[in-house]
A and B are shown apart, each in its own frame.
Chain A
Amino acid sequence: MSAIKSYDHPTNANQFNQDQDRTHWHDSSLWFIREKRDRMSKSLPEWETLRSCASQIKAHTVSKLADYLEEFEKNATARGVQVHWAKDAEEHNQIVLEILRKHQAKRIVKSKSMLTEECHLNPWLEKHGIEVVDTDLGERIVQLRQEPPSHIVMPAIHLKKEDVSNTFHEHLQTEKGNNDPNYLTESARQHLRQKFCQADVGITGVNFAIAETGGFVVCTNEGNADLGVSLPKVHIACMGIEKLIPKADHLSIFLRLLARSATGQPITTYSSHFHGPVEGGELHIVLVDNGRSKIMNSDDYRNSLKCIRCGACMNTCPVYRRSGGHSYAATVPGPIGSILNPLRDAKHHKTLPFACTLCGSCSDVCPVKINLHEQLLTLRTEVKNQKQLPMSKTLPMRIASYVFQRPKLYAWLGGIGKFFLRTMPRFLIYNPLNPWGRHREMPEAPPESFRQQYAQRAKKKSDDR
């Protein structure tokens, strides 16, 4: 994994920003999608109603998740689906491996699934001598480069076509320097076709599972999920337990919201429905918890389980756009990732809730109305409670609070501070310890504070009287 160097977001973001041209290019590619999403959402007069409905349905489902999961299991089993339960990533991987072993499967094709990324399924299977090929084009590109995806919907959005051309030249022997997207896509298709034909088992993710029917839906733009599961007789679908919706009737709301929020398309090119195994084949569903029920029990963060993984919050996030997905050092980056990851592992991901200006754009863009930026603010307190904030951050706040509780001390210190700011030589103010001043001028300190001016003004008024 070449991309994850450090868990420290500021360090990674700083590195990303060293190449300002690339940073700007990354920002504009994502902003382009965000604008497309704006146009599409504004073309639907019922957009905000759809969001409210989706949000309520998800909130309701999460509040009765155990019941709906049981209903789903019952209905899926009745359709001949084999349902498995995994409490964490390890169990999930073990279950998948056992199914593969039972069929002596050696070659797997997998369509995009953030859950299997979260569980690190690929390296686990490779360790056990199984070849896994990601069949989503973007996923395949990052897989060849041995990088994690940098975005949940557009895994290779951080790469330019030249990067893809170089990668393909190295791994698929395409022509060196040929950057033509059509040529490159065609080469990938030919290469993937072989893999589809040879595969023993197809693995997919799940976008929506329906309790009422026991079926599920996978959305792709390339049709690779369908291709992956139509030749092999065994299909394994891996899903986080929050992917459930109660009824088939609800599906239209989510399908309309998902694609428009993700890429600005009216609907994904393929929305494939699976309701049981193919004739003579097997369909397995692995239901994974991996920390989700813990989040479900928390009033502050429960809402984050509504997420349908559209990626809109990433596209809109001004910090994500200018720091890149890899800077988050997590499977799910961006605003929603900055909530989910620290909730699972506050120690490693302690900088993520702070990688945010609290601008609130994510909360307004989210199709299921997750109060993302508010949760990020609350999470900062959680990071402190878990003793993951360094003294260098907590001590100044303790001192400031002490001073602010004492107006006279505050006024006195304010005067001294302003005096120094006015009189100190430049090199003392603009030193390496002052990250404000590296690229920015400090504000000019006025001779008097407002409270001093106000007091003088009040005095003058009463003298005049």
Chain B
Amino acid sequence: MRVALFVPCYIDQLYPRVAMATLDLLEQLGVDVEFPAAQTCCGQPMLNSGCDTDALPLAERFVEIFSGYDAIVCPSGSCVSMVKNHYDHLLHENANYDTLRTQIFELCEFLVDVLKIDSLPVKFPYKVGLHSSCHGLRELRLASDSELNAPEFNKPKQLLALLDGVEFAELKRKDECCGFGGTFAVSEEAVSCTMGRDRIADHLQAGTQVLTAGDMSCLMHLAGLIKREKQPIRVMHIAEILAGYEVPQ
């Protein structure tokens, strides 16, 4: 199986450890991973800002670069959803895209649905607070949400539960948005920060020691508030935890 690693631009530049963890994890699981060097950004910031014409060439590039692989794996639900669900706004009648959209996976989704892993040799004796990032939750359906009346499931949690010693923090609002929302975090700074603080308060009352999520963007926003307010919570992307990386101090 030829697997391509898609590393979103902000992870490439600001969180290389997350991308490295994804790569390590996949390799540990015996997957042969390539990183196509020409990749940059999927165009989500442009489309989300209403600038569809600026997003279009990036979508076209993406399809060109990533076509021909058996699977594309990415440690960010939001970027995967952009490609899977929103490119059809931009790309019309593109046969390569029609194939590609069925082959792109968010990391947890890939581990659960494709690799079907049922054990991971990692010790993680911490109380974990799982933040369900919205696009993964409601656009990729990585877990059931509290709005729908449907059977419960949660792929990221299922993976974390494989780790030795892990405990889960029970949140009062299990799937509320953190308030990041891309440029929203800046243009609606007041609401964004109130939302973020509310999420952190929920994790504090639940006793979260390590806060994790499948999207580094949500975590960047929450970590920014945690650090400024000196809250006793560590932040890790789920790939770092699953790959057995150290908890940052």
Contact = CB atoms under 8 A, between A and B. Distances in A.
Interface string A333-362: 000000000000000000001111111110
Interface string A381-415: 11110000100011001101101110100100010
A446 B20 CA distance: 13
Interface stretch (B106-114, B119-127, B143-151, B161-169): B143-151
B106 to A, nearest CB: 15
Nearest to A363: B138
A38 B147 contact: yes
Contacts of A435: 186-187, 189
Interface in B21-58: 23, 35, 37-41, 43, 45-52, 54-55, 57-58
A439 B228 contact: yes
A31 B174 CA distance: 13
Given A356-B181, A384-B51, A401-B46, A17 B190 contact: yes
A446 B17 contact: yes
Interface residues of A, number: 75
A427 interface: no
A64 interface: no
Contact of B13 (A23, A357, A401, A417): A417
Most central of B46, B86, B173, B175 by chain A CB within 10 Å: B46
Given A364-B145, A364-B148, A450-B16, A357 B177 contact: yes
Nearest to B38: A407
A353 B187 CA distance: 12
B40 A410 contact: yes
Interface in B74-95: 86, 89
B170 interface: no
Interface in A354-377: 354-361, 363-365, 377
Contacts, number: 214
A48 B150 contact: yes
A360 B54 CA distance: 24
Contacts of A439: 189, 193, 224-225, 228
Contact of A17 (B19, B150, B191, B228): B191
Nearest to B145: A364
Given A439-B193, A449-B12, A451-B12, A357 B52 contact: no
B134 interface: yes
B191 A322 contact: yes
A323 B173 CA distance: 19
A134 interface: no
Contact of B194 (A23, A410, A418, A454): A23
Interface in A4-30: 9-10, 13-14, 16-17, 20, 23-24, 27
Nearest to A434: B186
A81 to B, nearest CB: 38
B40 A401 contact: no
A44 B149 contact: yes
Of listed B9, B54, B228, residue having the most chain A CB within 10 A: B54
A407 B37 contact: yes
A46 to B, nearest CB: 9
Contacts of A17: 190-191, 194
A17 B193 CA distance: 10
B13 A449 contact: yes
A47 interface: yes
A427 to B, nearest CB: 15
Contact of B189 (A9, A45, A410, A438): A438
A422 B2 CA distance: 37
B40 A397 contact: no
Contact of A440 (B11, B12, B86, B221): B221
Interface string B164-208: 000000000101110111111111111111111010000000000
Given A322-B194, A361-B147, A384-B52, A397 B13 contact: no
B50 A383 contact: yes
B87 to A, nearest CB: 12
Interface string A27-65: 100010000001001101101100000000000000000
Contact of A364 (B41, B138, B220, B228): B138
Nearest to B78: A358
A281 interface: no
A74 interface: no
Contacts of A279: none
B72 interface: no
Most buried by B among A45, A417, A436: A436
A410 B221 CA distance: 23
Contacts of A382: 50
Contacts of A48: 148-150
A359 B181 contact: yes
Contacts of B186: 435-436
B58 A401 contact: yes
A377 B45 contact: no
A197 interface: no
Contact of A361 (B38, B145, B221, B228): B145
Contacts of B183: 354, 393
Nearest to A10: B188
Contacts of A383: 50
Contacts of A322: 191, 194-195, 198
A445 interface: yes
Contacts of A446: 14-17
15 contacts: A27-B198, A31-B173, A322-B195, A360-B139, A377-B86, A393-B49, A393-B50, A393-B183, A394-B49, A394-B51, A397-B51, A401-B46, A410-B41, A436-B186, A449-B16
7 closest A-B pairs by CB: A357-B181, A440-B224, A380-B50, A360-B138, A401-B54, A359-B177, A364-B147
Interface of B: 7, 9, 11-17, 19-20, 23, 35, 37-41, 43, 45-52, 54-55, 57-58, 61, 86, 89, 134-135, 137-139, 145-150, 173, 175-177, 179-196, 198, 220-221, 223-225, 227-228
Given A318-B176, A360-B134, 17 more contacts: A27-B198, A42-B149, A322-B195, A355-B188, A357-B182, A357-B192, A358-B135, A359-B177, A361-B147, A361-B175, A400-B46, A401-B43, A407-B39, A435-B189, A440-B228, A450-B7, A454-B35
